[in-house]
A and B are shown apart, each in its own frame.
Chain A
Amino acid sequence: MDTTAIIVTIVGLGLVAFVLWYFFFSARQAASAVSSSSGVQEVAITVKGGYSPDIIEVEKGKPVQLSFYRNEENSCSEELLMPDFSIRRDLPAFKTTLVELLPEKAGTFPFTCGMGMLRGSLVVK
C-alpha cells in the first residue's frame, strides 16, 4: 500500500464512522405539543426532506391536531403514514394539511412517508 492508499483508507473509514454516527447515534430534538385554549394539543410540523420537529411529545387522552406544512415538491414526502392511527394522507406541496387523532395509549408511534424513508415519531405520555 502506498501513501495515497493509506490516506484513502483512513478517510474512508472516517466517513463510515461519520455516516453511522450522523444517521443513527446523534442526538435528536424532541418537541412537546402546545395545548390550545380549547384543550387540543397542537403541533406544527414542517415537511422538507424530513419532519421538523420529528419527535413530538403529547399527552394521552387529549385530542391532538398535527398541522403538516409541506415546504417542498419532492415526491418522497407527498404521503404521510401513521399506521397506528390508520392514517394515510396526501400532503399537497406548499400547503398545510391537518391531521387529527386521539392518542388513547401511551407509547411511541412512528410516522413515516409513503415509503418509510422519512421518519418521525409521536411519543404519547
Chain B
Amino acid sequence: MEPTTKTETLDIEGMTCASCAAAVEKSLSRAPGVQSALVNFATEKATVQYLPGQASPATLKEAVVNAGYSVTERPPDTSAAERSAETDRQKALAYQKLKRRFWVAVGLVVVIMPLSMLMLWPAMMQRVNVQWLNYLLLLLTLPVLGYSGREFYVSAWNGFKHRSANMDTLIAVGTGAAFFYSLAATVVPGFFTSRGLMPEVYYDTTATIIALILLGKVMELRAKTQTSAAMRSLIGLQAKTARVVRPGGAEVDVPIEQVQLGDIVVVRPGEKVATDGRITEGQSSLNEAMLTGESLPVEKQTGDSVFGATLNKTGSFRFEVTKVGADTMLSQIVKLVEDAQGSRAPIQRLADKVSAIFVPTVVVIAILTFVLWFDLAPVDTRLPLALVNFVAVLIIACPCALGLATPTAIMVSTGKGAEHGVLIRNAEALEKAYQVNTVLLDKTGTITKGEPAVTDFVAPGQDGPRLLQLVAAVERQSEHPLAEAVVRHADDQGADKLTATGFRAVEGKGAAATVDGQAVLIGNRRLLTDEGVTLSPELTAQAEQLLSQAKTLLYVAVAGQAVGLVGVADTVRDTSVAAIKKLQALGIEVVMMTGDNPQTAAQVAGQVGITRYFAEVLPADKAGKVKELQGEGRIVAMVGDGINDAPALAQADIGLAIGSGTDVAMEAAGITLMRSDLNGVVTAIELSRQTIRTIKQNLFFAFVYNTLGIPIAAGLLYPFFGILLSPMLAAGAMALSSVSVLTNSLRLRSFDNH
C-alpha cells in the first residue's frame, strides 16, 4: 500500500521554553488533516504527518502562527552543489595566489643562484666587492621571504601561540635560521672574521627552499582537487531547472530550488530528470547509471519512481515531485559519500598518533643535531656545519605525507565507488571489506530476483502461443503474485491480449473464466481434481519432472481437458553466476542461506556454483548463521536486501545491503549497493582491496621517508661516508614526498572492474 500521509518538517521560530513547544505541538495536532505532530524544542523543528488532501505546508504554517510562533522560511536545502561551488571558487582563488607566490620566488631564485655562484670563481671574487654582493643578495631574498614565504611565518607564529606546531613551523624555523645567520654575516662580518670564521651567506639556500616547498604545495593542491573529482562530477549532475506544469496547463521553466512537492514536471527525451518523483503520465526508458552504476537503460511507466539527475532517453513523461533538495536520492548519495570521507580509518591510527607529536619531536632532533655538530665538528667549520644540518633536518621532515596517506585514498575510492553504484558508509567499512574471506548470500532477492517468474510453459500437442493468450487473459484479472508472473511472461512473449469473461477466483486453488467462448481453468492440481479434470500420463510425467526441480506448478485446462503446465520459480539473476565465480576467483568462499527447503536450496546452489549452503533458515536465525561462520574464524560479509536481513547485516563483519534503488538509508549495512545484482559485491571487495593496498603503500612510504630522511639530514652518514644532505636537496625531497603519496592515491581513479 502507498502511504497516504505526507511528512513535513518545519523550522519553528520563537520558542523559548519546553511549554512553547507543547503549545505548538497542540496547535499543529488540532489542525485539520494532521495525523501527528512532534515538536523538538532543542532543534526547533516540528515534524508533522498530514493528509495531503486536507492540509498543506501553508495550512500547517498557519497553525503555528495561530499558536503565536512563526515558521522560518529557508531555502529547501543549502545543497551540496551550492556549497561545493562556493568552496571551489575559494580554492581556485587560493591556487592562483599560491602560483603567483611560487613564480615570484622562482623568478628571484633564478637571479640569486648565479650571483651566489660567483663565489666559486676566485678570479671573479677578486673583482667583486663581497660586502656589496651580500647586500644585493639580501635585497633579492627579502621579497622571497616577505611575499612568497610569508604564509609560513605567519602560520608558524599563529601555531606557536596555540602551542601547536605544523609543517610551516619547520619551514619557518629552518629558513629563518639560515636567513638570520646570513643577515648577521652581511651586516656584521667582522664578528665572524674576528673569530676565524668566513662570513658565509645562505641566501640561495633560503630562497631555493621556499621556492621548492611552494612547488610542492602547488602540485599538492592540484592533485588534491582531483581526489574529489568523482564527487564533484556527481554533484554537478544535478539539473538546474525543471519544466513545471502550472494548474492552467502552461509549462514553465523554473530554477530547481523553486520546485515544490506535488508539482507536476515534464521531461522530454534527452533531458535530465530534475528531481525525484513518480510518473503520472507517459513512459520512457531512463539511464540511471549516475546513481546505480547500471549502464543499461531502465524501462519506466506510470506509477514508477524516477530520480533526479538521471537521463531520459526515449519517451516523454510527466511526474509528480515527491522529493526535493536534500531529500533526493542524489543528495543522499552525496551526503553518504561525504560522511564516509569524513570518517576515520582504523589503519590511520598510528599515523595520527605520530602526526600529533611529529613537529615538536623534529624540532628537538634538529636542536640536538645543531648541538652535536657544534660540539664535535672542527672549530673553524662548526658553526656553518651545525647550521646546515639543523636546517636540513627541519626541512626534510614532513608530516604531510603521513597526514595525506589515508584520507586521499579514501576520498578517491569512495567517490569511485559511488560512480559504480557502491556506497561506502565509512572508512572502517572499507577496511573491513578488505579482510573478508567469506561472503554469505541471502538467496531470495540477492542471488535470485526475489519474485516468481515463468520458467517453463508446457503444452504438448497444443498451439502453445494460443494457449498462452488464453491463460494470460484469465490471469490478467487475478491479483495473485503467480498470476502476475504469468501475465509478465505473456507480455514478454508479445502474446495478443484477449478478453476474459465470467472470471471466478477459487480461493487457494486458482481461477476460472471464459475466453473466446472456451472455459479456461488455471490453478493447482486440486483445482483440476475438484473440477473433475484428469491429467494425461504425459502431463503427469512432465509435472513430476518440474516438481523435482523445485518449481511451483500451475495446471491449465481448456474445455474440461488438461492441456498444459506452467512452471514458476524465483529465477536466478542473469549476473549472479558470473559474480559468484569472480568472488571465488578472488579467493573468497561464497555461502548461501535461504528459508527454502533443502531441495530448492540445493537446486539454486548447484545452478550458481555454490557448494556450501544453509537451507530452511528462519528470518530470526539469519544472524545466528553469520555467528556460526564467524565462530569458524571467518571474516564474514553478509549480503542481503530485506528488512529481515538487518540483524544479520549488523552481525556480519561487514554488511552489504542490496538496495532496490529506493532506500539509500540502509542503517545496518556498511556498504549499500545501488544496483540489484551481485557484481556490486565484487566491485566493493575489489575496490576495498585496492584502496587498502594503496593506503599501506602510502603509509609505508611516508614512514620510511621520514625515518630515513631525518637521520641522513642530521648527518648520520657523514662519519662513515662523508655524505651530508644539502638543505636544498632536503627541500626537494620534502616537496616530492607528499606529492608522491597523492599521486599514488590518485592511481585509484583508474579503478574499473568491468
On A, residues with C-beta under 8 Å from B are 1-2, 5, 8-9, 12-13, 15-16, 19-20, 22-24, 26, 28, 37-40, 48-52, 54, 62-63, 72-76, 78, 81-90, 92-93, 112-119
Contacts and interface: CB of A to CB of B under 8 A. Distances in A.
A8 B403 contact: no
A11 to B, nearest CB: 8
A75 B357 contact: no
Given A49-B155, A115-B355, A12 B370 contact: yes
Nearest to B17: A37
Contacts of A114: 403, 407
Contact of B371 (A13, A75, A83, A88): A13
A92 B93 CA distance: 11
Contact of B404 (A88, A115, A118, A119): A115
B147 to A, nearest CB: 14
B342 A83 contact: yes
Nearest to A26: B163
19 contacts: A5-B375, A12-B368, A12-B371, A22-B360, A39-B41, A49-B159, A50-B161, A74-B151, A75-B98, A81-B407, A83-B343, A86-B343, A112-B352, A113-B166, A115-B166, A115-B402, A116-B356, A116-B403, A117-B164
Given A15-B367, A49-B164, A72-B155, A23 B360 contact: yes
Nearest to B369: A12
B90 interface: yes
Interface stretch (B237-245, B333-341, B469-477): B333-341
By size class, the interface of chain B is 35 or more
A72 B403 CA distance: 21
Contacts of B339: 86-87
B4 interface: no
Q: 6 closest Cβ contacts across the A-B interface?
A: A49-B158, A50-B162, A115-B403, A88-B342, A83-B344, A12-B371
B622 interface: no
Contact of B162 (A15, A49, A89, A93): A49
B15 interface: yes
Nearest to A77: B155
Indicate the member of A9, A26, A38 with the most B CB atoms within 10 Å.
Answer: A38
B462 interface: no
A86 B86 contact: no
Q: Name the prevailing secondary structure of the B interface residues.
A: helix
Interface of B: 15-16, 41-44, 86-87, 90-91, 94, 97-98, 151, 154-168, 217, 221, 338-344, 351-352, 355-360, 363-364, 367-368, 370-371, 374-375, 379, 382, 386, 399-400, 402-404, 407, 426
A117 B401 CA distance: 12
A85 to B, nearest CB: 8
B400 A115 contact: yes
Given A23-B359, A39-B41, 11 more contacts: A1-B375, A13-B371, A16-B364, A19-B367, A38-B16, A49-B158, A49-B159, A50-B162, A92-B90, A113-B166, A114-B403
A122 to B, nearest CB: 14
A87 B86 contact: no
Contacts of B221: 75
Contacts of A72: 154-155, 158
Contacts of A12: 367-368, 370-371, 374
A120 B4 CA distance: 48
Contacts of B159: 49-50, 118
B364 A20 contact: yes
Contact of A119 (B158, B343, B356): B356
Nearest to B90: A92
Contact of A117 (B341, B386, B403): B403
B43 A16 contact: no
A9 B375 contact: yes
A116 B399 CA distance: 9
A117 B338 contact: no
A93 B86 CA distance: 11
Contact of B352 (A20, A49, A78, A116): A116
Contacts of B358: 117
Contacts of B363: 19
Indicate the member of A62, A63, A92, A93 with the most B CB atoms within 10 Å.
Answer: A92
A16 B372 CA distance: 13
A82 B426 CA distance: 13
A19 B360 contact: yes
A56 to B, nearest CB: 14
A90 B342 CA distance: 11
Contacts of A90: 87, 90-91
B429 to A, nearest CB: 11
A117 B166 contact: yes
Contact of A9 (B157, B338, B371, B382): B371
Contacts of A92: 86-87, 90
A117 B63 CA distance: 50
Contacts of A19: 360, 363-364, 367
B155 A16 contact: no
Indicate the member of B161, B166, B344, B399 with the most A CB atoms within 10 Å.
Answer: B166
